[in-house]
Amino acid sequence: MPIIIKAKAGDSTHDIIKKFKKAIAAADIVTKARDRRFYKKPSEIRTVNKTEKRRLRKRARSLKKMKNISSATLQRINDRLGK
């Protein structure tokens, strides 16, 4: 799906470029392109995913021990873990 940025009447070129960069970052296009640049074996992908989950679980455990942490922060981590 293409990303379309429409210029408004008072927008400068700088503003349009800024909007375009923000739209690309939101669509996560740059990271996908970097990931697909070289072939990764499925076992490498599984290993990376496992280490990421392990790191997030460890972070969630340490944050739960803190008393002044918001529940929204823990919820974001649990969402990334798939819980």
Which residues form the domain of 31?
Answer: 10-38
* 83 residues of the chain, pLDDT tens digit each: 788 888 889 999 999 999 999 999 888 888 889 989 999 999 999 999 999 999 999 988 888 888 788 888 888 888 888 86
Instruction: Provide DSSP, the chain.
Output: --------TT--HHHHHHHHHHHHHHHTHHHHHHHTSS---HHHHHHHHHHHHHHHHHHHHHHHH-SS--HHHHHHHHHHHT-
**Do 32 and 59 belong to one domain?**
no
**Do 19 and 50 belong to one domain?**
no
pTM, full prediction: 0.56
**Do 52 and 82 belong to one domain?**
yes
Contact 45, 21 (CB under 8 A): no
